[in-house]
Amino acid sequence: MDGKAETNTRKHLRRVASDTAELPGIRLLSRPIYRRLFRRPFQARASYYGVFDNYQEAVDAAPPTLPTSYDVEASGRMYRSHLDQIRVSDYPSVYWLSRLFAGGSRVVFDLGGHIGVSYYGFRRYLDYPTGLVWRVHDVPAVVNAGREWAARHDPAGHLEFTHSRFDVDGCDVLFTSGALQYLDYTLPELLEQLAHPPRHVLVNLVPMHSHRSYFTLQNIGFAICPYRVTAVDEFVAAMDALGYETVDRWESHERHLHVPFEPQCDVDSYKGFCFRMRELRH
């Protein structure tokens, strides 16, 4: 058996073990087996383990076999095959950005935007306006990779990268897709610290539970990261308290979350929102 076939066989066995771990009658025995498999790198797909009350509790429970941070060199090489395409779940964001650009918005802060994945993917579907600034914030390893990639692939020069999340202050739009679940702070916590918060907030591809907030651990192959799930009503209420009204909301059924042995924590679809700052009334 060659190396590639052996690797694929191991991946298949891990997937079978994961899928059968919760069968009635073997759950008690299979949980420690699943945890041992979860500790290993190079998973065939993202896998999850445990339910925790907060970020630090999840970090403390993570096995020592892999880093607990996305800030590693391998993360900067992810998604490069997806830079010229978008997913079904991206279309609401494309629609709302087109509306916001038409309304005069020019400075976008892409929170957790990797190397500019959405910027590159969306430019096939959007007419980027003159004067657009698309500012990406991510972990240092990804920011550095993004700057190197943009030097060769962003001839329009719209992309900027920053190490500080507070560089969102004064921007027109805060956009985030598939990133809030990895942060050790919440979006409302960031917004409430700003002197000039963005008028518009677009949130996409976030796992949210109908009524429960919790953390789990996600193994992405080269790291095991805390993974946040927020109760929908709790999130919307926090945004409302900051003065944001919900203009639109949607569900992305192409993504779901299942934490083995924790069926009450299942998430059937990921969520998206368009928020707008309410006008002040004198």
Domain ranges of the chain: 1-38, 49-277
Pick the CATH number of 49-277 from 3.40.50.150, 2.40.50.140, 3.30.365.10, 3.10.20.30: 3.40.50.150
**104-114 confidence digits (pLDDT tens):** 999 999 999 99
Contact 17, 37 (CB under 8 A): yes
The pLDDT assigned to 34 comes to: 84
The pLDDT assigned to 281 comes to: 44
- CA separation for the pair 168, 109 (Å, rounded): 6
The pLDDT assigned to 102 comes to: 98
Residues 145-164, mean pLDDT to the nearest whole number: 96
The pLDDT assigned to 17 comes to: 52
Residues 32-61, mean pLDDT to the nearest whole number: 88
The pLDDT assigned to 1 comes to: 47
Query: Is a pLDDT exceeding 80 seen at residue 30?
Result: no
- 22 falls in which pLDDT band (50, 70, 90)? low
Residues 91-106, mean pLDDT to the nearest whole number: 98
Most confident of 2-11, 20-29, 224-233: 224-233
Indicate yes or no: pTM above 0.85.
yes
- 267 falls in which pLDDT band (50, 70, 90)? very high
- 31 falls in which pLDDT band (50, 70, 90)? confident
The pLDDT assigned to 10 comes to: 47
Query: Is a pLDDT exceeding 70 seen at residue 37?
Result: yes
Burial 152-189 (b: 16+ CB within 10 A, else e): eebeeebbbbeeebeebbebbbbbbbbbbbbbeebbbe
Query: Is a pLDDT exceeding 60 seen at residue 36?
Result: yes
Q: Which of 157, 107, 98 is nearest to 134 (CA)?
A: 107
- 41 falls in which pLDDT band (50, 70, 90)? confident
Question: Where are any strands of DSSP class E within the chain?
Answer: 47-52, 107-111, 133-137, 159-162, 173-177, 200-209, 214-219, 224-231, 244-252, 270-277
Query: Is a pLDDT exceeding 90 seen at residue 244?
Result: yes
- 257 falls in which pLDDT band (50, 70, 90)? very high
Query: Is a pLDDT exceeding 80 seen at residue 18?
Result: no
**183-212 confidence digits (pLDDT tens):** 999 999 999 999 999 999 999 999 999 999
The pLDDT assigned to 20 comes to: 54
- CA separation for the pair 69, 112 (Å, rounded): 13
- 15 falls in which pLDDT band (50, 70, 90)? low
